[in-house]
Protein backbone atom coordinates (compact mmCIF):
# COMPACT_ATOMS: atom_id res chain seq x y z
CA UNK A 1 0.00 0.00 0.00
CA UNK A 2 1.82 3.06 -1.23
CA UNK A 3 1.47 6.45 0.43
CA UNK A 4 -0.11 7.70 -2.80
CA UNK A 5 -2.79 5.01 -2.59
CA UNK A 6 -3.54 5.81 1.06
CA UNK A 7 -3.81 9.49 0.23
CA UNK A 8 -6.21 8.85 -2.65
CA UNK A 9 -8.33 6.54 -0.51
CA UNK A 10 -8.57 9.08 2.31
CA UNK A 11 -9.49 11.83 -0.14
CA UNK A 12 -12.18 9.67 -1.73
CA UNK A 13 -13.63 8.82 1.65
CA UNK A 14 -13.74 12.48 2.63
CA UNK A 15 -15.41 13.46 -0.62
CA UNK A 16 -18.02 10.69 -0.36
CA UNK A 17 -18.88 11.39 3.28
CA UNK A 18 -18.87 15.14 2.60
CA UNK A 19 -21.28 14.81 -0.29
CA UNK A 20 -23.61 12.59 1.74
CA UNK A 21 -23.57 15.16 4.53
CA UNK A 22 -24.16 17.99 2.09
CA UNK A 23 -27.02 16.09 0.46
CA UNK A 24 -28.71 15.43 3.80
CA UNK A 25 -28.42 19.02 4.92
CA UNK A 26 -29.43 20.38 1.55
CA UNK A 27 -32.71 18.54 2.00
CA UNK A 28 -33.04 20.11 5.44
CA UNK A 29 -32.08 23.50 4.07
CA UNK A 30 -34.73 23.25 1.39
CA UNK A 31 -37.31 22.41 4.05
CA UNK A 32 -36.09 25.32 6.18
CA UNK A 33 -36.60 27.63 3.19
CA UNK A 34 -40.10 26.25 2.60
CA UNK A 35 -40.93 26.81 6.27
CA UNK A 36 -39.42 30.31 6.16
CA UNK A 37 -41.60 31.20 3.15
CA UNK A 38 -44.69 29.87 4.93
CA UNK A 39 -43.76 31.85 8.05
CA UNK A 40 -43.21 35.07 6.07
CA UNK A 41 -46.59 34.64 4.36
CA UNK A 42 -48.48 34.28 7.65
CA UNK A 43 -46.42 37.03 9.28
CA UNK A 44 -47.49 39.39 6.49
CA UNK A 45 -51.08 38.68 7.52
CA UNK A 46 -50.30 39.47 11.16
CA UNK A 47 -50.89 35.97 12.45
CA UNK A 48 -47.40 34.56 12.96
CA UNK A 49 -46.83 32.30 15.94
CA UNK A 50 -43.88 32.60 18.29
CA UNK A 51 -42.85 28.90 18.16
CA UNK A 52 -42.41 28.94 14.37
CA UNK A 53 -39.55 31.40 14.54
CA UNK A 54 -37.97 29.43 17.38
CA UNK A 55 -38.15 26.21 15.36
CA UNK A 56 -36.62 27.96 12.35
CA UNK A 57 -33.76 29.27 14.45
CA UNK A 58 -33.13 25.82 15.88
CA UNK A 59 -33.32 24.18 12.46
CA UNK A 60 -30.75 26.60 11.05
CA UNK A 61 -28.44 26.02 13.99
CA UNK A 62 -28.81 22.24 13.60
CA UNK A 63 -28.03 22.47 9.89
CA UNK A 64 -24.98 24.63 10.51
CA UNK A 65 -23.74 22.10 13.06
CA UNK A 66 -24.22 19.25 10.59
CA UNK A 67 -27.09 17.74 12.59
CA UNK A 68 -29.14 17.32 9.44
CA UNK A 69 -31.70 14.90 10.86
CA UNK A 70 -32.50 17.22 13.76
CA UNK A 71 -32.61 20.14 11.33
CA UNK A 72 -35.27 18.27 9.36
CA UNK A 73 -37.29 17.68 12.52
CA UNK A 74 -37.24 21.34 13.53
CA UNK A 75 -37.85 22.58 9.99
CA UNK A 76 -40.89 20.31 9.76
CA UNK A 77 -42.16 21.68 13.08
CA UNK A 78 -41.69 25.20 11.76
CA UNK A 79 -43.59 24.35 8.59
CA UNK A 80 -46.42 22.65 10.49
CA UNK A 81 -46.91 25.58 12.86
CA UNK A 82 -46.70 28.11 10.00
CA UNK A 83 -49.37 26.19 8.10
CA UNK A 84 -51.59 25.99 11.19
CA UNK A 85 -51.16 29.73 11.71
CA UNK A 86 -52.25 30.33 8.12
CA UNK A 87 -55.38 28.25 8.68
CA UNK A 88 -56.06 30.41 11.73
CA UNK A 89 -55.51 33.61 9.71
CA UNK A 90 -57.89 32.48 7.01
CA UNK A 91 -60.53 31.39 9.49
CA UNK A 92 -60.26 34.59 11.52
CA UNK A 93 -60.79 36.77 8.46
CA UNK A 94 -64.49 36.31 9.16
CA UNK A 95 -64.90 34.19 12.31
CA UNK A 96 -64.22 37.16 14.63
CA UNK A 97 -67.51 38.74 13.65
CA UNK A 98 -69.47 36.14 15.60
CA UNK A 99 -67.77 37.29 18.84
CA UNK A 100 -68.89 40.92 18.67
CA UNK A 101 -71.60 41.64 21.27
CA UNK A 102 -74.87 42.41 19.59
CA UNK B 1 -90.18 34.40 -0.68
CA UNK B 2 -87.18 32.21 0.04
CA UNK B 3 -84.90 34.87 -1.48
CA UNK B 4 -86.59 37.60 0.54
CA UNK B 5 -85.98 35.72 3.80
CA UNK B 6 -82.36 35.08 2.85
CA UNK B 7 -81.88 38.74 1.98
CA UNK B 8 -83.48 39.85 5.24
CA UNK B 9 -81.28 37.49 7.25
CA UNK B 10 -78.15 38.61 5.40
CA UNK B 11 -79.02 42.27 5.93
CA UNK B 12 -79.66 41.74 9.65
CA UNK B 13 -76.38 39.88 10.11
CA UNK B 14 -74.46 42.44 8.10
CA UNK B 15 -75.91 45.33 10.06
CA UNK B 16 -75.09 43.69 13.37
CA UNK B 17 -71.50 43.00 12.33
CA UNK B 18 -70.95 46.37 10.67
CA UNK B 19 -72.76 48.46 13.24
CA UNK B 20 -71.28 51.90 13.80
CA UNK B 21 -68.97 52.71 16.72
CA UNK B 22 -71.76 54.04 18.90
CA UNK B 23 -73.90 50.92 18.36
CA UNK B 24 -70.80 48.82 19.11
CA UNK B 25 -70.17 50.74 22.32
CA UNK B 26 -73.75 50.44 23.49
CA UNK B 27 -73.72 46.66 22.96
CA UNK B 28 -70.28 46.42 24.62
CA UNK B 29 -71.45 48.32 27.70
CA UNK B 30 -74.68 46.33 27.90
CA UNK B 31 -72.68 43.11 27.78
CA UNK B 32 -70.81 44.08 30.93
CA UNK B 33 -73.90 45.50 32.64
CA UNK B 34 -75.56 42.16 32.15
CA UNK B 35 -72.48 40.18 33.16
CA UNK B 36 -71.79 42.21 36.31
CA UNK B 37 -75.17 43.62 37.35
CA UNK B 38 -74.01 44.55 40.85
CA UNK B 39 -70.97 46.53 39.68
CA UNK B 40 -71.34 50.17 38.67
CA UNK B 41 -69.97 50.82 35.19
CA UNK B 42 -67.43 53.37 36.39
CA UNK B 43 -65.97 50.77 38.75
CA UNK B 44 -64.52 48.94 35.75
CA UNK B 45 -61.83 51.60 35.46
CA UNK B 46 -60.25 49.72 38.37
CA UNK B 47 -59.92 46.56 36.31
CA UNK B 48 -59.76 43.28 38.21
CA UNK B 49 -59.94 45.23 41.50
CA UNK B 50 -63.55 46.00 40.70
CA UNK B 51 -64.22 42.26 40.71
CA UNK B 52 -62.08 40.95 43.57
CA UNK B 53 -62.45 42.37 47.07
CA UNK B 54 -59.25 40.89 48.53
CA UNK B 55 -57.06 42.08 45.71
CA UNK B 56 -58.73 45.47 45.86
CA UNK B 57 -57.75 45.93 49.52
CA UNK B 58 -54.11 45.18 48.73
CA UNK B 59 -54.20 47.55 45.77
CA UNK B 60 -55.80 50.37 47.78
CA UNK B 61 -53.14 50.01 50.45
CA UNK B 62 -50.46 50.37 47.80
CA UNK B 63 -52.15 53.38 46.21
CA UNK B 64 -52.72 55.18 49.51
CA UNK B 65 -49.07 55.09 50.59
CA UNK B 66 -46.32 56.02 48.21
CA UNK B 67 -47.47 54.62 44.88
CA UNK B 68 -44.52 53.49 42.77
CA UNK B 69 -45.46 55.68 39.79
CA UNK B 70 -45.06 58.94 41.69
CA UNK B 71 -41.48 59.54 40.61
CA UNK B 72 -42.50 59.15 36.98
CA UNK B 73 -45.22 61.78 37.41
CA UNK B 74 -42.83 64.28 39.04
CA UNK B 75 -40.11 63.65 36.47
CA UNK B 76 -42.67 63.93 33.69
CA UNK B 77 -43.78 67.32 34.97
CA UNK B 78 -40.19 68.57 34.94
CA UNK B 79 -39.72 67.29 31.38
CA UNK B 80 -43.00 68.85 30.28
CA UNK B 81 -41.94 72.25 31.59
CA UNK B 82 -38.53 72.18 29.92
CA UNK B 83 -38.10 74.22 26.77
CA UNK B 84 -36.83 72.72 23.53
CA UNK B 85 -33.66 74.06 21.93
CA UNK B 86 -35.78 76.33 19.73
CA UNK B 87 -37.50 77.88 22.78
CA UNK B 88 -40.83 76.14 22.22
CA UNK B 89 -42.26 73.55 24.62
CA UNK B 90 -44.92 70.84 24.82
CA UNK B 91 -47.48 73.53 25.65
CA UNK B 92 -47.02 74.88 22.14
CA UNK B 93 -48.20 71.53 20.76
CA UNK B 94 -50.81 70.52 23.34
CA UNK B 95 -52.10 73.81 24.73
CA UNK B 96 -51.68 75.37 28.14
CA UNK B 97 -53.15 72.46 30.09
CA UNK B 98 -51.53 69.02 29.99
CA UNK B 99 -54.93 67.47 30.78
CA UNK B 100 -55.45 66.19 27.25
CA UNK B 101 -55.31 62.42 27.51
CA UNK B 102 -59.07 62.04 27.20
CA UNK B 103 -58.80 62.98 23.51
CA UNK B 104 -56.18 60.33 22.68
CA UNK B 105 -55.90 58.36 20.55
CA UNK B 106 -57.30 60.65 17.89
CA UNK B 107 -57.66 60.43 14.16
CA UNK B 108 -55.23 62.65 12.26
CA UNK B 109 -56.72 63.17 8.81
CA UNK B 110 -53.59 64.92 7.53
CA UNK B 111 -51.31 62.04 8.48
CA UNK B 112 -54.00 59.48 7.67
CA UNK B 113 -53.57 57.53 10.87
CA UNK B 114 -54.40 57.13 14.52
CA UNK B 115 -52.25 59.28 16.81
CA UNK B 116 -51.78 58.09 20.37
CA UNK B 117 -50.55 60.35 23.15
CA UNK B 118 -47.05 58.88 22.89
CA UNK B 119 -46.96 59.40 19.15
CA UNK B 120 -48.24 62.97 19.60
CA UNK B 121 -45.40 63.63 22.06
CA UNK B 122 -42.89 62.44 19.48
CA UNK B 123 -44.62 64.40 16.70
CA UNK B 124 -44.28 67.49 18.88
CA UNK B 125 -40.60 66.81 19.42
CA UNK B 126 -40.01 66.18 15.73
CA UNK B 127 -41.73 69.39 14.67
CA UNK B 128 -39.49 71.29 17.07
CA UNK B 129 -36.27 69.69 15.89
CA UNK B 130 -35.87 67.42 18.92
CA UNK B 131 -34.68 63.83 18.89
CA UNK B 132 -37.49 61.27 18.96
CA UNK B 133 -37.90 59.28 22.17
CA UNK B 134 -38.01 55.52 22.18
CA UNK B 135 -41.43 54.34 23.35
CA UNK B 136 -39.96 52.43 26.27
CA UNK B 137 -37.64 55.29 27.19
CA UNK B 138 -38.19 56.50 30.75
CA UNK B 139 -38.62 60.09 29.54
CA UNK B 140 -41.51 59.02 27.27
CA UNK B 141 -43.13 57.00 30.04
CA UNK B 142 -42.68 59.86 32.52
CA UNK B 143 -44.16 62.43 30.16
CA UNK B 144 -47.21 60.28 29.46
CA UNK B 145 -47.55 59.49 33.19
CA UNK B 146 -47.65 63.23 33.95
CA UNK B 147 -50.26 63.89 31.25
CA UNK B 148 -52.32 60.95 32.54
CA UNK B 149 -52.11 62.25 36.09
CA UNK B 150 -53.19 65.73 35.07
CA UNK B 151 -56.05 64.23 33.06
CA UNK B 152 -57.46 62.23 35.98
CA UNK B 153 -61.22 62.46 36.21
CA UNK B 154 -61.66 63.60 32.61
CA UNK B 155 -64.15 61.42 30.73
CA UNK B 156 -62.71 59.66 27.68
CA UNK B 157 -63.91 61.45 24.55
CA UNK B 158 -62.76 59.60 21.46
CA UNK B 159 -64.20 60.56 18.09
CA UNK B 160 -64.42 58.71 14.80
CA UNK B 161 -64.86 61.70 12.50
CA UNK B 162 -64.86 60.24 8.98
CA UNK B 163 -64.73 57.12 6.82
CA UNK B 164 -60.94 56.82 6.98
CA UNK B 165 -61.10 56.98 10.76
CA UNK B 166 -63.89 54.42 10.71
CA UNK B 167 -61.67 52.08 8.67
CA UNK B 168 -58.95 52.34 11.34
CA UNK B 169 -61.53 51.76 14.06
CA UNK B 170 -62.80 48.67 12.22
CA UNK B 171 -59.24 47.35 11.91
CA UNK B 172 -58.82 47.73 15.65
CA UNK B 173 -62.17 46.08 16.28
CA UNK B 174 -61.29 43.08 14.11
CA UNK B 175 -57.94 42.74 15.87
CA UNK B 176 -59.67 42.73 19.24
CA UNK B 177 -61.94 39.83 18.36
CA UNK B 178 -59.55 37.77 16.20
CA UNK B 179 -57.96 34.69 17.71
CA UNK B 180 -54.19 34.67 17.45
CA UNK B 181 -51.19 32.61 18.43
CA UNK B 182 -50.65 28.95 19.06
CA UNK B 183 -53.03 29.07 22.03
CA UNK B 184 -55.76 30.45 19.74
CA UNK B 185 -56.93 33.29 21.99
CA UNK B 186 -58.46 36.65 21.08
CA UNK B 187 -58.27 39.68 23.38
CA UNK B 188 -61.98 39.15 23.82
CA UNK B 189 -61.50 35.51 24.89
CA UNK B 190 -60.10 36.61 28.25
CA UNK B 191 -61.49 40.09 28.75
CA UNK B 192 -64.99 39.71 27.40
CA UNK B 193 -66.08 36.07 27.25
CA UNK B 194 -64.12 35.04 30.37
CA UNK B 195 -64.06 38.38 32.22
CA UNK B 196 -64.46 37.89 35.97
CA UNK B 197 -63.26 34.28 35.89
CA UNK B 198 -59.95 33.17 37.30
CA UNK B 199 -56.95 32.26 35.20
CA UNK B 200 -54.77 30.40 37.68
CA UNK B 201 -54.58 32.86 40.59
CA UNK B 202 -55.48 35.94 38.55
CA UNK B 203 -58.91 37.47 38.12
CA UNK B 204 -59.56 38.38 34.48
CA UNK B 205 -60.53 42.04 34.20
CA UNK B 206 -63.31 43.37 32.01
CA UNK B 207 -62.35 45.06 28.75
CA UNK B 208 -64.49 48.03 29.69
CA UNK B 209 -62.18 50.59 31.28
CA UNK B 210 -59.04 48.83 30.12
CA UNK B 211 -57.52 51.99 28.69
CA UNK B 212 -58.24 54.42 31.51
CA UNK B 213 -55.18 53.93 33.69
CA UNK B 214 -52.12 53.95 31.43
CA UNK B 215 -49.20 54.18 31.78
CA UNK B 216 -49.22 51.82 34.72
CA UNK B 217 -46.72 50.51 37.23
CA UNK B 218 -46.83 46.73 36.93
CA UNK B 219 -45.19 44.71 39.67
CA UNK B 220 -44.27 42.13 37.06
CA UNK B 221 -42.32 44.76 35.11
CA UNK B 222 -41.03 46.54 38.20
CA UNK B 223 -41.52 49.81 36.34
CA UNK B 224 -44.12 52.09 34.80
CA UNK B 225 -44.89 51.04 31.26
CA UNK B 226 -47.22 51.87 28.36
CA UNK B 227 -50.39 50.17 27.19
CA UNK B 228 -48.75 48.85 24.04
CA UNK B 229 -46.21 46.98 26.13
CA UNK B 230 -49.17 45.19 27.72
CA UNK B 231 -50.58 44.44 24.26
CA UNK B 232 -47.23 42.90 23.33
CA UNK B 233 -47.22 40.87 26.52
CA UNK B 234 -50.76 39.59 25.91
CA UNK B 235 -49.84 38.54 22.36
CA UNK B 236 -46.73 36.83 23.63
CA UNK B 237 -48.68 34.99 26.33
CA UNK B 238 -50.85 33.32 23.71
CA UNK B 239 -47.75 32.60 21.60
CA UNK B 240 -48.62 35.09 18.89
CA UNK B 241 -45.83 37.15 17.39
CA UNK B 242 -46.24 40.60 18.90
CA UNK B 243 -46.24 43.85 16.94
CA UNK B 244 -43.99 46.82 17.61
CA UNK B 245 -44.89 49.48 20.16
CA UNK B 246 -46.89 52.16 18.34
CA UNK B 247 -47.37 49.92 15.31
CA UNK B 248 -50.43 50.67 13.21
CA UNK B 249 -52.04 47.49 14.52
CA UNK B 250 -51.71 48.50 18.17
CA UNK B 251 -52.69 52.13 17.54
CA UNK B 252 -55.87 50.97 15.81
CA UNK B 253 -56.52 48.51 18.63
CA UNK B 254 -56.11 51.29 21.20
CA UNK B 255 -58.44 53.48 19.13
CA UNK B 256 -61.20 50.85 19.20
CA UNK B 257 -60.71 49.99 22.88
CA UNK B 258 -60.67 53.64 23.91
CA UNK B 259 -63.88 54.29 22.01
CA UNK B 260 -65.49 51.40 23.89
CA UNK B 261 -64.63 53.19 27.15
CA UNK B 262 -65.94 56.59 26.03
CA UNK B 263 -67.41 58.49 28.96
CA UNK B 264 -65.46 56.63 31.64
CA UNK B 265 -63.16 58.79 33.77
CA UNK B 266 -59.40 58.54 33.39
CA UNK B 267 -57.57 57.29 36.49
CA UNK B 268 -53.98 56.83 35.43
CA UNK B 269 -51.30 56.26 36.24
CA UNK B 270 -51.95 53.46 38.65
CA UNK B 271 -50.58 50.13 39.79
CA UNK B 272 -51.28 46.61 38.62
CA UNK B 273 -49.80 43.23 39.46
Instruction: Collect all residues with Cβ–Cβ distance below 8 Å to B159 and sequence separation of at least 6.
Output: B106, B107, B165
- Structural domain tally of chain B? 2
What's residue A24's pLDDT? 64
CATH code, domain with B37 = 1.10.760.10
Residues 72-101 of A with CB under 8 A from B: 81, 84-85, 88, 91-92, 95-97, 99-101
CB A49 within 8 Å of CB A79: no
Task: Give the DSSP H or E segment for A3.
Answer: helix A3-44
Contact A92 B179 (CB under 8 A): yes
Q: Is B9 a member of any domain?
A: no
Instruction: Tell me how far the alpha carbon of residue B66 is from its chain's centroid.
Output: 25
Q: Is A1 a member of any domain?
A: no
What's residue A23's pLDDT? 58
Q: Is A48 a member of any domain?
A: yes
Residues B209 and B81 in one domain: no
Other beta carbons within 10 Å of A60: 18
pLDDT tens digits along B123-170? 999 999 999 999 999 999 999 999 999 999 999 999 999 999 999 999
- Structural domain tally of chain A? 1
Q: Is B14 a member of any domain?
A: no
Residues B166 and B209 in one domain: yes
Residues B53 and B138 in one domain: no
Handedness of CA B262, B263, B268, B273 (dihedral sign): negative
Q: Is B109 a member of any domain?
A: no
Residues B129 and B77 in one domain: yes
Range of the domain at A26: 20-93
Residues B31 and B166 in one domain: yes
Phi/psi at B186 (5° precision): -100, 165
Range of the domain at B40: 20-66+162-272
ipTM of predicted complex: 0.87
In chain A, which residue's Cα lies nearest the Cα of B184?
A: A88
Q: Which of B27, B236, B239 is opposite residue A102, by nearest beta carbon?
A: B27
B199: helix, strand or coil: strand
Contact A96 B31 (CB under 8 A): no
Could you tell me the mean pLDDT of each successive run of 10 residues in chain A, 102 residues long? 58 48 79 98 98 98 96 98 98 97 94
Q: Which of B173, B178, B239 is opposite residue A51, by nearest beta carbon?
A: B239
Q: Is A84 a member of any domain?
A: yes
Q: Beta strands of chain B (E only): which ranges?
A: 106-108, 113-115, 198-199, 202-203, 216-218, 223-225, 270-272
What's residue A82's pLDDT? 98
Phi/psi at B180 (5° precision): -140, 160
Residues B120 and B233 in one domain: no
Low-confidence ranges of chain B (pLDDT < 50): 1, 7, 9-16
Residues B80 and B189 in one domain: no
What's residue B63's pLDDT? 87
Contact A101 B180 (CB under 8 A): no
Contact A97 B243 (CB under 8 A): no
| Residue A7 distance to chain B (closest CA, Å) | 53
Q: Is B13 a member of any domain?
A: no
Is B234 one of the catalytic residues? Answer: yes
What's residue B19's pLDDT? 75
Measured CA to CA, the distance from residue B271 to residue B223 in angstroms comes to 10
Can you list the alpha helix ranges (DSSP code H) found in B178-217? 187-188
Q: Is A76 a member of any domain?
A: yes
Q: Cβ contacts (< 8 Å) between A81 and chain B: which residues?
A: 182
Q: Is B11 a member of any domain?
A: no
Q: Is A14 a member of any domain?
A: no
| Residue A80 distance to chain B (closest CA, Å) | 11
CB A28 within 8 Å of CB A68: yes
CB B79 within 8 Å of CB B121: no
Q: Is A100 a member of any domain?
A: no
B113: helix, strand or coil: strand
Q: Which of B173, B179, B241 is opposite residue A48, by nearest beta carbon?
A: B241
Q: Is B89 a member of any domain?
A: yes
Amino acid sequence: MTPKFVGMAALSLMLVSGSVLADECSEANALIQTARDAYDAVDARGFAWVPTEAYLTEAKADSAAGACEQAMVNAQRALDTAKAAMVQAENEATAWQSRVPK
Amino acid sequence: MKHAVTLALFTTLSLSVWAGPEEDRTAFVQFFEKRFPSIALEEHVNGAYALDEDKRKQWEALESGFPPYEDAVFDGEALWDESFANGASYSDCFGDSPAVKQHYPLWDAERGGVVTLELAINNCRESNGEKLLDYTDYAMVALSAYVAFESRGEPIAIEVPDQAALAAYEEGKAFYYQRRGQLNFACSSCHLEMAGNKLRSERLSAALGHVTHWPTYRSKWDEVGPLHKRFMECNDQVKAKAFELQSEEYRNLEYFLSYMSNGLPLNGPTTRK
